[in-house]
C-alpha cells in the first residue's frame, strides 16, 4: 500500500481521540486512518510529552509541528558509514576545497590519505549539505517599486532582417524599457548598441511614455557603465551629463545578476517572439513604427501574467500622473576632448580656432563641444565660453590676449587711437593720421612705436612734438622719435614756430624744411638771454 501523508487536522484528531482514552483500533476506525499510521503518530507524540493524563504536554500547534517532523518521510536519521567517514576527516576536505579541488579529485585524495574510497555522489552531497552549501539559492520575489519610480532597461538581439534598399542581411538590436510598476514597455529597434543608440532610444521612450521616470536601472553596457561594481560603478561621463539634462538617477544592475532587473529580463523572450518573430521588416524605420503600435495595442492591452491587469491601463491611471515632464527639445549630445594649449593662446576644435585666456599656458584643457557652444575647463573650472564656429572660422576674444597684443591680433586701430589720445589731443590726431589709408592695419606698428615714445618721454613732450609735426605736415613716427631723442622738445626749440626768412625777389619760395640759422650754433645761449646777431 502506498504511503499517504496525513493532513494536519487528521493528525490532530488522531492525537485528540487517543488523549481522550481511546485505543489504537478505535482511533483508526473513527478517523479512517491505517492503524499502523495511528500507532506511529501516537508513539511520536508520547515521546514528545503527550499523555492521556492531565499533566502531559498540551495538544497545541507546537506539538503538532514536532510530531510531523519526527514522522514525515525523510526525517533525520543516523548518518551512514561514508558520511560519518567524511565528517571525521572534514578538516582535510575543507583544506582541499579551499585549494580549489573538486569532487573527483577529493575522492582520490581522501582515499590516498585514509585508505577508504568514498563514493563520488556521497562526497558531493556532503560538500553541498555541510561545506559549500547549495550552489543555487531559491528565488525571492521582490516587492514592486512605487508607481512612476523605476524604468528597467536592457538591450537584446532581435534577429536578422534583409534591408530592402540595399539587399543586405543585417542584425537588428533593440532597447527594451519596462516600467517596474505597471509593466508597460517600449521597444526601440536599432542596428547597434552605441551611446548614440541608447540616448536616441531613451529620448523616444520619454516621448512614448509621456514623461521621465525618477530612476533608470540599466544593464552594464559600456555606453552607460565604464567599470562595473556592485557598490560603486564608474559611469560614463557623457551619459551622466545626459541624466543630468533629463533629471533622472542611474542605478545600474550588478554584473551577471539579471534578477536585479527581473521585470525587463522576463519580457525579452516575449518581445523577441511576439513582436519580431515571423515579421519581414525592410528597414529599421518600419520596425520602429510597428514596435510602437505593438507596445500600445498588443503588449499594452494584454492581461499580464503576474498583475492580471492591462499594463497600458495601469500605466495611464497610476503612473503617468507621477512622471516628470517629458523634454520639449531634442537632446544636444555633447562631446568631450582634451586639447593642449600652445604658445599662440588658442586651440583648434573641429578645424575652428578659439582663443584661450593668456594666463593659461602650456597646459591641457577639457573641452566640451555641442551644437551651439564650446566650453573650456581648466582643473574642473569653466575658464571660457565660445559660440560654436564652422570649420575654417575663428572666434578670438580680445580679452584672452596678453596686454598690448590684442589690438594687433584683432587689427583694432580705433583702440590704438584712443590710447594715443590719452597722451594728448595732438598725439591722438597724429595716430589717426598714421592709420589713415586704405590698409590701416598695415600702419599699426607705427602707432605702437608712437605709444612707446609716450611711455618713454611722457605724454606732454609727445603731444608737443606731435603738434609741431602736424604744423609742418610731417606724418612719420621716426621724425617724432628723433625730435624726442635729440632733446629738441626739452630745450624749448619747438615751443614757437621758427621764423622763416623773407621771400627773395622773384618767384623764389622758402623751402618747406628750411631751418633757422640760429639752430646751427654749436653753443646755445642760456635760457632767458638773446643770442648774438649773426655776423
In the block, cell 573641452 appears at 367
Check residue 535 and give its pLDDT.
44
User: Which cell numbers in the block locate residue 531?
Assistant: 643770442
Exposure of 390 by Cβ count < 10 A (0-12 exposed, 13-18 middle, 19+ buried)? exposed
Report whether 191 contacts 170 (CB < 8 A).
yes
Q: In what order do the strands lie in the sheet with 364-369?
A: 335-340, 364-369, 373-378, 381-387
Q: What is the pLDDT of residues 60-83, one digit of tens each?
A: 888 888 888 888 765 555 667 888
Q: What is the mean pLDDT of the chain?
A: 85
150-162 and 169-179 beta bridge pairing: antiparallel
> DSSP per residue over 50-110, as a string?
--SSTTS---SHHHHHHHHHHHSTT------HHHHHHHHTHHHHHHHHHTT--HHHHHHHH
Least confident of 10-19, 359-368, 397-406, 446-455: 397-406
Check residue 514 and give its pLDDT.
64
CA 453 to chain centre: 56
Distance (Å, whole) CA 417 – CA 429: 8
Mean predicted confidence (pLDDT) in 144-162? 94
Q: What is the CATH number of domain 150-325?
A: 3.30.420.10
Of the pLDDT bands very low, low, confident and very high (cuts 50, 70, 90), residue 531 is low
Mean predicted confidence (pLDDT) in 263-278? 92
Least confident of 117-121, 280-284, 432-436: 432-436
Distance (Å, whole) CA 76 – CA 502: 143
Ordered by start, the domain boundaries in the chain are: 8-71, 81-131, 150-325, 335-400, 406-495
Highest mean pLDDT among 135-144, 281-290, 331-340, 447-456: 281-290
User: Which cell numbers in the block locate residue 464?
Assistant: 608737443
Using DSSP's 3-state secondary structure scheme, residue 315 falls into helix
- Whether 498 has a pLDDT exceeding 50, the answer reads no
Check residue 78 and give its pLDDT.
60
352-355 and 185-190 beta bridge pairing: unpaired
Q: What residue ranges in 144-233 does DSSP mark as E strands?
A: 150-162, 169-179, 185-190, 211-212, 215-217, 225-227
Q: How many CB atoms lie within 10 A of CB 185?
A: 26
Q: What is the pLDDT of residues 181-220, one digit of tens each?
A: 999 999 999 999 999 999 999 999 999 999 999 999 998 9
Residues 76/80/82/84 CA torsion (nearest 10 deg): 70
Among residues of the chain, what percentage have pLDDT more than 90? 41
Between CA 199 and CA 206, with CA 203 as vertex, the angle to 5 degrees is: 140
Q: How many CB atoms lie within 10 A of CB 65?
A: 11
Check residue 253 and give its pLDDT.
94
Distance (Å, whole) CA 480 – CA 433: 13
Mean predicted confidence (pLDDT) in 287-302? 96
User: Which cell numbers in the block locate residue 451?
Assistant: 605709444
Q: What is the pLDDT of residues 331-365, one digit of tens each?
A: 998 888 899 887 888 899 999 999 999 888 768 89
Distance (Å, whole) CA 482 – CA 476: 10
Amino acid at each position: 500500500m502506498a504511503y499517504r501523508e496525513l493532513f494536519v487536522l487528521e493528525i490532530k484528531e488522531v492525537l485528540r481521540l487517543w488523549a481522550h482514552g481511546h485505543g489504537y483500533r478505535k482511533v483508526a476506525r473513527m478517523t479512517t486512518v491505517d492503524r499502523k499510521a495511528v500507532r506511529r503518530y501516537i508513539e511520536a507524540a508520547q515521546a514528545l510529552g503527550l499523555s492521556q493524563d492531565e499533566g502531559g504536554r498540551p495538544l497545541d500547534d507546537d506539538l503538532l509541528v514536532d510530531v510531523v517532523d519526527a514522522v514525515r518521510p525523510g526525517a533525520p536519521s543516523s548518518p551512514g558509514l561514508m558520511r560519518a567517514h567524511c565528517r571525521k576527516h572534514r578538516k582535510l576536505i575543507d583544506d582541499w576545497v579551499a585549494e580549489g579541488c573538486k569532487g573527483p579529485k577529493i575522492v582520490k585524495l581522501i582515499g590516498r590519505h585514509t585508505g577508504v574510497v568514498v563514493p563520488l555522489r556521497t562526497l558531493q552531497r556532503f560538500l553541498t549539505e555541510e561545506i559549500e552549501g547549495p550552489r543555487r539559492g531559491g528565488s525571492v520575489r521582490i516587492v514592486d517599486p512605487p508607481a512612476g519610480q523605476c524604468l528597467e532597461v536592457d538591450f537584446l538581439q532581435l534577429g536578422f532582417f534583409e534591408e530592402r534598399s540595399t539587399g543586405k542581411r543585417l542584425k537588428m538590436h533593440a532597447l527594451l524599457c519596462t516600467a517596474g510598476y505597471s509593466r508597460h514597455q517600449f521597444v526601440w529597434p536599432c542596428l547597434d548598441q552605441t551611446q548614440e543608440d541608447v540616448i536616441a532610444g531613451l529620448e523616444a521612450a520619454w516621448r512614448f511614455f509621456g514623461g521621465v521616470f525618477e530612476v533608470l536601472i540599466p544593464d552594464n553596457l559600456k555606453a552607460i557603465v565604464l567599470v562595473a561594481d556592485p557598490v560603486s560603478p564608474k559611469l560614463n561621463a557623457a551619459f551622466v551629463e545626459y541624466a543630468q539634462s533629463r533629471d533622472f538617477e542611474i542605478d545600474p544592475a550588478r554584473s551577471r545578476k539579471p534578477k536585479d532587473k527581473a521585470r525587463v529580463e522576463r519580457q525579452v523572450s516575449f518581445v523577441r517572439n511576439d513582436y519580431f518573430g515571423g515579421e519581414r521588416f525592410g528597414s529599421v524605420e518600419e520596425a520602429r513604427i510597428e514596435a510602437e503600435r505593438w507596445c500600445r495595442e498588443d503588449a499594452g492591452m494584454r492581461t499580464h501574467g503576474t498583475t492580471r491587469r492591462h499594463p497600458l491601463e495601469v500605466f495611464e491611471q497610476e503612473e503617468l500622473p507621477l512622471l516628470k515632464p517629458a523634454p520639449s527639445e531634442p537632446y544636444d549630445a555633447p562631446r568631450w576632448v582634451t586639447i593642449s594649449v600652445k604658445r599662440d593662446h588658442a586651440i583648434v576644435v573641429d578645424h575652428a580656432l578659439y582663443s584661450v585666456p593668456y594666463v593659461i599656458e602650456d597646459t591641457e584643457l577639457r573641452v566640451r563641444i555641442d551644437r551651439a557652444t564650446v566650453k573650456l575647463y581648466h582643473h574642473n573650472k569653466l575658464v571660457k565660453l565660445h559660440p560654436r564656429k564652422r570649420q575654417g572660422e575663428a572666434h578670438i576674444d580680445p580679452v584672452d590676449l596678453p596686454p598690448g597684443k590684442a589690438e594687433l591680433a584683432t587689427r583694432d586701430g580705433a583702440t590704438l587711437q584712443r590710447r594715443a589720445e590719452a597722451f594728448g589731443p595732438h598725439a591722438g590726431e597724429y595716430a589717426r593720421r598714421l592709420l589713415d589709408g586704405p590698409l590701416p592695419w598695415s600702419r599699426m606698428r607705427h602707432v605702437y612705436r608712437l605709444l612707446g615714445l609716450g611711455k618713454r618721454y611722457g605724454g606732454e613732450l609727445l603731444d608737443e612734438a606731435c603738434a609741431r609735426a602736424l604744423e609742418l605736415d610731417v606724418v612719420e613716427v621716426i621724425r617724432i622719435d628723433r625730435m624726442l631723442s635729440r632733446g629738441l622738445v626739452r630745450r624749448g626749440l619747438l615751443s614757437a614756430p621758427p621764423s622763416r626768412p623773407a621771400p627773395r625777389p622773384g618767384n623764389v619760395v622758402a623751402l618747406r624744411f628750411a631751418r633757422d640759422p640760429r639752430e646751427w650754433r654749436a653753443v646755445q645761449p642760456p635760457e632767458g638771454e638773446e643770442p648774438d646777431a649773426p655776423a
